[in-house]
A = this chain, B = another copy of it.
Amino acid sequence: MGKVLMKGNEVIAEAAVHAGCKYFFGYPITPQSELVAYMARRLPEVGGLFLQAESEIAAINMVYGAAGTGVRVMTSSSSPGFSLKQEGISYLVGSELPALICNIVRGGPGLGNIQPAQSDYFQVTKGGGHGDYNIPVLAPASLQEIVELTQDAFDIADRYRTPVILMGDGMLGQMMEPVEFREREKALIDEKEWATTGTRGDGGPRIITSLELDAESLEQRNWKLQKKFATIKENEVRYETYQVDDADYIMVAYGTVARIAMNSINQARQKGVKVGLIRPISLWPFPEKPFIETRDQVKAFISVEMSAGQMIEDVRLAVNGHAPVDFFGRTGGVVPTQEEIYDKIMTVAGGVNV
């Protein structure tokens, strides 16, 4: 199978199918409905099941149920719908169930609009649900990267028994690019010894629950979870850097914004301004290493977001006072242009910004 031209939302769906995902439970919401529609048509072809639930809450709880049987399962939504899933997501974490949850972010808060945004950064990285937890969050910047990260997401989910979030903005969901689906080895351990598939008398019952009435026991579970989060933090950090070695200024951006920022960087370098880019691919765990390696050499970091200043907190935590951290953002569905980001660079660099 060579390269095919597809829409971002469909690429997520097809990549999930390639990763062995056979179950999808969801509820349509713009701008990710193509993903839902694609799954409705596609999953029966591979002997899987698509079900449009009667609400976002029903959908995430169906994911919980299916995940408990050890199959690869996913749901998808956009910002308001994603908020409705917070209880269910916390339950998935508490019960240590693998699943893929997509959030194709749109302008908020509230009903907002259906334009691209990144304003759910806090919600996905700091825990929109209750309790102490972290969830791996992957943020692709191209459609081919969607293919890879979707498959990685399922592998991470299975490896650590955890939900994984794939986060994109509406632009990524709607754009078309040629992609290639390469077959690859699945990390999935087919026999999940914890799955509640029925023991039929052979071995004791398997129980999946997040309930633990005894405080000491729940604390032990929590420290065990924290230990798992620490392992993920050690193993699953992903990022890309661009021209950071000699950089006086480093931009930080993820997703489609990072692609635009690269053009701004090229433009600035033509003017002699040495600027680079750190692109977090895993939003959690956040890549601290490239910051630690560069924070004592650069004059400033600039967090560039389609939000009002959320990732900047993680940047500031990673920089930890070693350099100033500046910010440029657009919100409400407005996508920053190459020129705007270029202007920001020039302003920060003290240059004339036309």
Q: How large is the interface on A (under 10, 10 to 19, 20 to 34, 35 or more residues)?
A: 35 or more
Q: Is the CB of B91 within 8 A of A110?
A: yes
A323 to chain B, nearest CB (A): 10
Asked if A123 meets B129 with Cβ closer than 8 Å, knowing A86-B86, A333-B215, the reply is yes
Q: Is the CB of B107 within 8 A of A332?
A: no
Question: A218 contacts which of B80, B83, B317, B332 (Cβ < 8 Å)?
Answer: B332
A193 within 8 A of B: no
Q: Is the CB of B49 within 8 A of A54?
A: no
A337 within 8 A of B: no
Q: Is the CB of A90 within 8 A of B113?
A: no
Q: Per-residue CB proximity of A305-344 to B under 8 Å, as 1/0?
A: 0011110010011001110000000111110000000000
Q: Is the CB of B214 within 8 A of A113?
A: yes
Copies of this chain, how many?
4
A105 within 8 A of B: yes
Question: A133 contacts which of B61, B93, B109, B113 (Cβ < 8 Å)?
Answer: B109
Q: Complex formed: what's the CA distance from A101 to B203 in Å?
A: 37
A223 within 8 A of B: yes
Q: Is the CB of B131 within 8 A of A218?
A: no
- A108 / chain B contacts, CB cutoff of 8 Å: 90, 94, 129-133, 210
Closest to A96 in B: B110
Q: Per-residue CB proximity of A60-90 to B under 8 Å, as 1/0?
A: 0100000000000000000111111011001
A316 to chain B, nearest CB (A): 6
Q: Is the CB of A109 within 8 A of B132?
A: yes
Q: Is the CB of A119 within 8 A of B131?
A: yes
Which A residues from 30 to 68 make CB contacts under 8 A with B?
41, 49, 51, 54, 57-58, 61
Interface residues of A (CB under 8 A from B): 41, 49, 51, 54, 57-58, 61, 79-84, 86-87, 90-95, 105, 107-115, 117, 119-120, 122-123, 126-133, 198, 209-223, 225-226, 307-310, 313, 316-317, 320-322, 330-334
A-B interface, 9 closest residue pairs, ranked by CB to CB distance from nearest: A108-B131, A110-B210, A94-B110, A321-B321, A109-B131, A218-B332, A219-B332, A215-B333, A79-B130
**Selected A-B contacts with CB under 8 Å, 17 pairs:** A80-B130, A84-B87, A94-B108, A95-B110, A108-B133, A109-B129, A110-B209, A112-B210, A113-B215, A113-B218, A115-B218, A126-B127, A215-B333, A219-B331, A220-B332, A320-B320, A321-B321
Taking A86-B86, A109-B133, A216-B332 as known contacts, 6 extra A-B pairs with beta carbons closer than 8 A to each other, sorted by chain A number, are A84-B84, A84-B86, A108-B131, A218-B332, A219-B333, A317-B317
